[in-house]
Amino acid sequence: MPVTRREALLSAGALAAAGVLPAVQAPSNKSKTASQIAEDGAEPVCLTDFEPLAKQRMSHLAWEYINGAAADETTVRWNREAYQRMRLKPRVLVDVSKLDTRVTLFGQEHAFPILLAPTAYHRLVAPDGEVATARGAGAAGATMVVSSFSTTAVEDIAGVARAPLWFQLYAQTDHSFTHDLVQRAEAAGCRALCLTVDTPVAGARNREARVKFELPPGMSLPNFKGIKEVRAGASHLPRGQDIFSSILDPELSWKDVEWLSSFAKIPLLVKGVLNPEDADRAVKAGVAGIIVSNHGGRNLDTAPATADALPPVVEKVAGRVPALVDGGIRRGTDVLKALALGARAVLIGRPYLYGLAAAGQEGVTSVVNILRREFEMAMALTGRTNLASIDRSVLWT
């Protein structure tokens, strides 16, 4: 629904309240009240405010895993800098009392163009893991993309979800396994399938290697249950001198994209495209959408910022399928800029994990609500009342 001025005023109150985190969940199960957080002087009012809170409340291993990126962490820095460097060109004296942030993706209406990117191992930072994330996303009305590497089975996540779920697929060399996993995701009600194509091997995750990252005791990857057991002690990282991981498919190719689109009943997106030639090839292979992503800078360091990679992809795809983008989105103005560059919607990764670590499901909800409100402010302050009116003219070029 369009946001009226009255609702926007209420939203301003809600924004103030967005930092009010009713109960804080930590892996230790200790909870902390909102007033305690406020007393610490650390009440989060923007996405980056969640980071120090999250760091305090998670293990060093979890922090290095989530906050880290590949090699010299150049790309992860560029992801942020690309948005910070772009300037905005506002229009004034536009009636912005009604804002419409709705977007339709694959026949499904979303109240706002922000989704939760797939991220692995949520139980590293919250006892209920992905269940808390799904509840938090549901309360905010945001679509969560469930990772293949979730520490909760996709069926159990779907059982608590109050907003649509999508499923992210790490295809495996065993095709019958991959086939069954896709069918499980579909049966659980996931509305789209995002095939991650930028991870035939993991990047040089130096920080993960230093902490010898592996799944702590008591955690497993239940999406693999019954087909391939992946228990505590497992890792997406290579063993020994090999660069390959037992749970990533280094043989994945265009043939697999065609194979998946031949039987998937839900729209298939490819996640992790930067090169416009690959985007073109993906459309020809039958995908329904493209996610421009460099995996949050975690794989190929010195690959470009996604905000820089996005425009040539959008141009090449030429409206045949929607392009989404993730990487470095931390502000409502970043969402506006991504849309101005041609993205249909954006995804956020680390910010909601920090929300989850800092305050459990309420933290996830707060992160989405804050970003959504900031996006509405950015629209109002640039004189844009709906998504169709957000184009290149909002950028100061």
Ligand X SMILES: Cc1cc2nc3c(=O)[nH]c(=O)nc-3n(C[C@H](O)[C@H](O)[C@H](O)COP(=O)(O)O)c2cc1C
Residue 168, strand partner residues: 194
Residue 166, strand partner residues: 145
What the block records as the tokens of 250 is 């280094």
What the block records as the tokens of 233 is 């002690």
Does 196 participate in binding ligand X (rule CB under 6 A)?
Answer: yes
Q: Which of 32, 295, 337, 373 binds ligand X (CB under 6 A)?
A: 295
Contacts with 301 (C-beta within 8 Å, 6 or more apart), sequence order: 69, 70, 71, 72, 73, 74, 75, 203, 204
Q: Which of 25, 133, 147, 366 binds ligand X (CB under 6 A)?
A: 147
Q: Kindly compute the dihedral angle of the four CA atoms of residues 328, 334, 338, 340, in this order, to the nearest 10 degrees.
A: -160
Nearer to ligand X by Cβ, of 338 and 353: the residue is: 353
CA–CA separation, 388 vs 384, rounded Å?
A: 9
- Count of C-beta atoms within a 10 Å radius of residue 28: 8
Nearer to ligand X by Cβ, of 325 and 387: the residue is: 325
Does 252 participate in binding ligand X (rule CB under 6 A)?
Answer: no
Nearer to ligand X by Cβ, of 223 and 385: the residue is: 223
Shortest distance (Å) from residue 138 CB to ligand X: 19
Q: Which of 66, 221, 309, 378 binds ligand X (CB under 6 A)?
A: 66
CA–CA separation, 92 vs 301, rounded Å?
A: 40
Does 119 participate in binding ligand X (rule CB under 6 A)?
Answer: yes
Nearer to ligand X by Cβ, of 5 and 85: the residue is: 85
Q: Decide: helix, strand or coil at residue 346.
A: strand
Does 342 participate in binding ligand X (rule CB under 6 A)?
Answer: no
Q: Which of 267, 296, 322, 355 binds ligand X (CB under 6 A)?
A: 296
Q: Which of 44, 118, 136, 289 binds ligand X (CB under 6 A)?
A: 118
Question: Under a CB-based contact definition with an 8 Å cutoff, are residues 297 and 70 in contact?
Answer: yes
Does 293 participate in binding ligand X (rule CB under 6 A)?
Answer: yes
Beta strand segments in 279-384, E: 289-292, 323-326, 345-348
Shortest distance (Å) from residue 294 CB to ligand X: 7
Question: Under a CB-based contact definition with an 8 Å cutoff, are residues 289 and 106 in contact?
Answer: yes
Does 168 participate in binding ligand X (rule CB under 6 A)?
Answer: yes
CA–CA separation, 302 vs 73, rounded Å?
A: 8
Does 164 participate in binding ligand X (rule CB under 6 A)?
Answer: no
Does 289 participate in binding ligand X (rule CB under 6 A)?
Answer: no
Binding segment toward ligand X, per CB under 6 A, in 13-21, 93-101, 118-126, 375-383? 118-126
Residue whose beta carbon is closest to ligand X = 349
- Count of C-beta atoms within a 10 Å radius of residue 30: 9
Shortest distance (Å) from residue 211 CB to ligand X: 13
Q: Classify residue 177 by burial, with Cβ atoms within 10 Å: 0-12, 13-18, 19+.
A: middle
Tell me if residue 295 is catalytic. yes
Does 327 participate in binding ligand X (rule CB under 6 A)?
Answer: yes
Residue with token string 């460097």: 85
- Number of residues lying near ligand X (CB under 6 A): 24
Residues in the site for ligand X, rule: CB under 6 A?
65-66, 79, 117-120, 147, 149, 168, 196, 271, 293, 295-296, 298, 326-329, 348-350, 353
Which sequence positions are flagged as catalytic?
295
